[in-house]
Structure 1
């Protein structure tokens, strides 16, 4: 291969490496288990990562064996996929923007309320009753609250108050703090001092099958968990996207140089 073709092949290999974190992030999002029951746009990330991986492999093969047609298709397809990736990144930041978690005086954990999220994200858990019922059933089946109830480290109320609960534990496994319930155990509370402070106060039940699964705070907690997932994914997606665009632009320049070098060689030997 000519020098420019060697450079193009190396750059395409770097593009291939940049696509791996995107594919891995998609697989991580799609395979999350446990209490992570809201699965918003998980498979599109995995599919886009797989397509980027396949296209970058084709680009590397085209550069290595100097297949100009394959390289041209690669450049076009990669540009389209990068555009989709940027759109996905904007979506991911929109999901992670804002927080329904509100600090509570004298508590290490936060309480969660729906108004802290965008109208679009609130609609994900409020607009479709069947979707929410599926998410709710998943949260119940995950045993998140049962595991919290069985935690033996909470001997006195202050130990529970100083614990760092996950969004779903805070929103679904206990009543809102503003209700003024008295702590008995992580999932048993009595004698609300301010039962009219929030509609969720009346929705709370000590029944392990009910708890606050019907509360708006539970929906907010689910969105809080979803936000945490996407915040973690955003880091990998952003770094990989910036690196991918940088290497891709350099790769395009190297491809043009290789084309020019080939044209000059053919002219020199009288082939044109």
Structure 2
């Protein structure tokens, strides 16, 4: 639209193009600010024995947290996580050096893995609960289990349940959304810069069209008419 308006000197078309471009730029700026505002809080916390991070819902706040925590929306989100079998990919095996048999990875190997926020929050109990590792998605309650965290009682070895009801799972989803939204925002900033450059070029074309419509030569300064001086 802007190209046609510039080439064929359709000033009204360029005006419409500039107006639409202005609205798009403003909308993009608003989205970028909103995305950074709602993802401002929330960081993973290091575990004592592992290299992966764990996530707590209390570290997040604002609109996005309320949206994810809403019972109706969380029911849909957790159902999608179950149907996607997000925890089934955690299973790993290793060869036992003593017997040569293939066995599940050891607890030491597990704690040296890099887990995604959803795997960390939804597929295992929080480390603070003190559950005993059997395999990646099977943990037993020992005598040292801590029950002061509600997530410790929400954990289930039922592979359809696991920790999908846990606040740590909601926090893992929020951490994933935060990372995704930040990446999208960076891409949008690049797009915004390109749009601003295009907008400036379109403004120059619009001014040039108006100058030609007024029969003003390019680079010619406007002169105001003045009355002739009397001799």
User: What is the alpha-carbon distance in structure 2 between the residues aligned to residue 167 and residue 90 of structure 1?
Assistant: 24
Structure 1 or 2: more helix by fraction: 1
Matching residue of 2:86: 144
Matching residue of 1:226: 177
Gaps of 5+ in 2: 95-103, 221-231
Match status 1:88 vs 2:31:
yes
Match status 1:170 vs 2:120:
yes
In the TM superposition, residue 195 of structure 1 has moved relative to its aligned partner by 2.1
1:82-116 per-residue CA deviation (whole Å, 9 max, x = no partner) reads: 11111111111123322242111221111111111
Q: Which runs of 4+ in 1 moved over 4 A?
A: none
Over alpha carbons, which structure has the higher Rg?
2
Matching residue of 1:251: 202
Matching residue of 1:183: 133
In the TM superposition, residue 171 of structure 1 has moved relative to its aligned partner by 0.5
User: What is the alpha-carbon distance in structure 1 between the residues aligned to residue 43 and residue 147 of structure 2?
Assistant: 21
Gaps of 5+ in 1: 1-57
1:3-38 per-residue CA deviation (whole Å, 9 max, x = no partner) reads: xxxxxxxxxxxxxxxxxxxxxxxxxxxxxxxxxxxx
State the number of aligned residues. Answer: 208
User: What is the alpha-carbon distance in structure 2 between the residues aligned to residue 157 and residue 66 of structure 1?
Assistant: 72
Contact 2:6/2:209, CA 8 A, preserved across alignment = no
In the TM superposition, residue 262 of structure 1 has moved relative to its aligned partner by 3.7
Matching residue of 1:48: none
Contact 2:125/2:131, CA 8 A, preserved across alignment = yes
Q: TM-score, normalised by structure 1?
A: 0.71
User: What is the alpha-carbon distance in structure 2 between the residues aligned to residue 214 and residue 77 of structure 1?
Assistant: 45
